[in-house]
Structure 1
């Protein structure tokens, strides 16, 4: 089992171009798995973790409802935003500057074959990262992602998640609001959940700007520990 995970920070990159790159890496792993099964080739499958920030974009998952996008095409253009229907689970979400997006493209046969556990460990990496900033976060029953004050009238989401998996290979991932412009969430029903607020780490800390590189370093550390992985460049 290959527990090495190739880490790439793509910087600021268009959503569609990143999605296509994810698909390429995803398919490469699937092709190796198919070859191994058909030919008993015994080839090692790679794993990847991509960090990226996107220009303003809204994405709708397979089970999403178009009604949860509250603005039309003309208004999207005026906001400098794009929109895509995509092949992950979940409903609608927003990505943009000030957000750390993580896309793990893993062969879970190298780790464990349990999607529920996979999602919980991704959440835990974010929860432990926020804890280092003195922010107590957790889960909201029946709702994927990371929340503050879950189960109270003050519940607010700080990290959205949506994944796709085939033959135990994953893609898509999580979006952690670090210095996000929360106004962009006003134009959707985030994750299809009515009446729930969204927040960002800089808001919770009362800071104008949080060092995103430092947040990524903490995320990487917790990801590596939780997945018992070795991150390589």
Structure 2
């Protein structure tokens, strides 16, 4: 198992450019795994596969997962163009979501054969890293049964559950891509143009909304990286 992870902060990058970059890395890892199978059959030594973690922010964009409903986008093509918002149908799980400035968008491209081969556990670990990061700021967050992501006022009986982090992933041959969108200082008005994650009866929030102040995003990134490192037993590649 190779638990070394190459971390890259892509900064503010258009969605399509980041998606193409993810795909290039993802395809390379999958190809290496296929080559390793040939090596095994030939009695040759296999090569370790790489793992990546990408952090970035995107200009305003809506993305619709492969199981999403197009009607959950509430804007026309003309309105999208007028508001200078990109829109992409993509190959992750989940419905529609928003990415924009003030979010930490994380793309772990992990070969889960290096960690554990369990997609549900993988998603729970991503959620847990967000939950622990929020706890560092005295924000209580958790999960709602049957709904992927991280929520505020998540306990049963609470009147106003609010999603603070959306998740959607793709995996092939145990290699992951796509990931999570964590609302730190995001402008929540952009969520009014969609049915976020296809859920119409629950709200969306951010750290800034919950705390009443903006939070330095790089500070949050460092805390989040630390929790991911602990949960996945990561060694950062230098």
Normalising by structure 1, we get a TM-score of: 0.98
Matched positions, count: 232
Aligned to 1:117: 121
Matched, 1:187 2:193: yes
CA distance in 1, matches of 2:237, 2:188: 33
Per-residue Cα deviation, 1:166-220 (whole angstroms, up to 9, x for no partner): 000000000000000000000000000111100010110100x210000000000
Other structure's SS at 2:222 match: helix
CA distance in 2, matches of 1:139, 1:79: 33
Identify which of 73, 79, 84 aligns with 1:75.
79
CA distance in 2, matches of 1:106, 1:213: 22
How far the C-alpha of 1:38 sits from its partner, in A, is: 1.6
Identify which of 204, 214, 217 aligns with 1:212.
217
Q: Within 5 A, what are the aligned runs for 1:121-160?
A: 121-150=125-154, 151=156, 152-160=158-166
How far the C-alpha of 1:77 sits from its partner, in A, is: 1.4
Q: Within 5 A, what are the aligned runs for 1:1-233?
A: 1-40=1-40, 41-150=45-154, 151=156, 152-207=158-213, 209-233=214-238
CA distance in 1, matches of 2:86, 2:80: 6
CA distance in 2, matches of 1:120, 1:149: 18
CA distance in 2, matches of 1:219, 1:54: 18
CA distance in 2, matches of 1:124, 1:133: 15
CA distance in 1, matches of 2:143, 2:83: 31
How far the C-alpha of 1:232 sits from its partner, in A, is: 2.5
CA distance in 2, matches of 1:193, 1:154: 13
CA distance in 1, matches of 2:150, 2:237: 26
After TM superposition, the runs of 4+ consecutive aligned structure 1 residues lying more than 4 A away are none
Other structure's SS at 1:17 match: helix
CA distance in 2, matches of 1:232, 1:83: 34
Other structure's SS at 1:153 match: coil
The two structures, once aligned, show a CA RMSD in angstroms of 0.7
How far the C-alpha of 1:50 sits from its partner, in A, is: 0.0
CA distance in 2, matches of 1:231, 1:70: 41
How far the C-alpha of 1:15 sits from its partner, in A, is: 0.1
